[in-house]
A and B are shown apart, each in its own frame.
Chain A
Amino acid sequence: MTSRDKSDFNTKELEEAIRKMHSEVCDQCGKCTSACPVTKEIEGFNPRQLVTKVALGQIDELLAEEAIWTCTTCLKCRERCPEEISPYDIILVLRNLAYRRGLNYPVGYDDFIKGINERGYISSPQQMRTRDGERVSRVNLGLPEPQVPMRMNAFKGNLEELLKAGND
């Protein structure tokens, strides 16, 4: 077990969660793949094939593939599956497993999580440019100060732990 395995939801439960997603009942109809915006634009990502690999137990192979990180989470595959299999949920669990096993995940995650840890938001309020090039802030528009999350301390500890684990 790696040092990333710190959540209450342990790896065994995640593996169990994938088994409960019933990929073996897939009819191979391909509705998920025809709905998928990523399949159309990026080579090597195919939700129907992914469900088949899960049904065949080829989890290790899937975890090593970059493809599991290219899903855009649009949920169309889940909406359209006649068997109510959810490639989307399978992908989220595969990502969790890959992270725990210390496999690669996209560059950029750590900065986003750090930002949420520090501010509660994914970015700080920015000055926006008008089409004439003038810089405009919330104050210039007469908008109130941004809402700031309070009592985040409890989460900070948790997220810091997550970040540290991610930097192994």
Chain B
Amino acid sequence: MSLEYSLYPGCVATTREIGYELAVRNVYDQLDIKLNKVDDFSCCQPACLVHSIDYVKGLALTSRNLAVAEELDLPMMTLCSSCFGNLSRAKYMLDTNPRLKEDVNKLLGKAGREYKGTVQIEHVVTTLYNDYGKEKLGSDIVNPLSELNVAPFYGCHIFMPAKYSDFDDPENPVKLDELIVTTGAKSIDYHEKTSCCIGCGSFFGKVSEEASVRLAENIVRSAHEKGADCIVTTCPFCIMQLEIGQIKLRERDMRFNIPTLHYVDILGLALGIEPEDLGFDLRRINIDPVISKL
């Protein structure tokens, strides 16, 4: 039986990282994994937005998506680490706090919905690693990326804290590394691979303006020093921060120009999918150094 999920694309893939949604759809088509469009999902509400000024309304907005997924009786698959983290956090909070669940369900009830607690939340990495399986994925590879040195970038929201989602060990994660190795590429260990990029953590003030560029510098420099040909992320926010950060760093005479890709991008290449069908024209950093190593 082939795998099937409700696709939860989230704000960034829907509105800006459209090449990512294209790559996911084409890769999952090729793997014969069914992704259903759901005409009712909305923003997951990162904790820095409505949660920060009204905790219960923020949680209700997040949980509305969980209630929609429960009605469809299929696991929901997110494209974004922050969506995965925020939805998993809401599930944890409601499942462990009956008073909060009651308050949230009062609000959801006004929209004719109820959060029950049956939802299953997945991410691209968990569907490929846990459900499809590394071995099967390995047997699908037609174009091993054996010349490519890849720096995996996990970011933070996908697995912190571990009690929300049990995605992987937050201090020593392996799943993205192993999926990279499955494509035939080499996975590089480097210091900043679980750092915060600030993409989906703070949209306002000097944190988003100044600190985000310096954090991007730390991350990219760390990958560069270990000889990375490219950085691979699990999140459309992370990829934007690392690409736009590198562009801003050029103004400070720092030219790293390390191609930054989504995991499905390198998987797609290894599956023999054409670069334009993976949205490569839309990458903000030139990806020729990756293509030349194929």
Tell me if B25 counts as interface (CB < 8 A to partner A): yes
Provide the bound-state CA to CA distance between A153 and B42, in Å.
13
Task: Give per-residue flags for B271-287: 1 if the beta carbon is below 8 A from chain A beta carbons, else 0.
Answer: 00000000101111010
Interface residues of B in 57-74 (CB under 8 A from A): 57, 60-61, 64
Provide the bound-state CA to CA distance between A105 and B111, in Å.
29
Task: Tell me whether A123 and B170 are in contact (CB under 8 A).
Answer: no
Task: Tell me whether A126 and B286 are in contact (CB under 8 A).
Answer: no
Task: Tell me whether B205 and A146 are in contact (CB under 8 A).
Answer: no
Most buried by B among A79, A125, A132: A79
CB distance from A21 to the nearest CB of B (A): 13
Contacts A38-B207, A105-B53, A155-B61; is A128 near B202 (CB within 8 Å)? Answer: no
Provide the bound-state CA to CA distance between A142 and B160, in Å.
35
On chain B, the number of residues with a Cβ less than 8 Å from chain A's Cβ atoms is 67
Interface residues of A in 1-56 (CB under 8 A from B): 7-9, 14, 37-38, 41-42
Tell me if B3 counts as interface (CB < 8 A to partner A): no
Task: Tell me whether A70 and B207 are in contact (CB under 8 A).
Answer: yes
Provide the bound-state CA to CA distance between A131 and B259, in Å.
13
Interface residues of B in 190-215 (CB under 8 A from A): 195-196, 198, 201-207, 210-211, 214-215
Tell me if A59 counts as interface (CB < 8 A to partner B): no
Besides the known contacts A78-B161, A128-B282, 6 further A-B residue pairs in the complex with CB atoms under 8 A apart = A79-B161, A96-B55, A106-B205, A134-B281, A147-B37, A149-B41
4 smallest A-B Cβ distances: which pairs? A72-B201, A120-B42, A74-B196, A149-B42
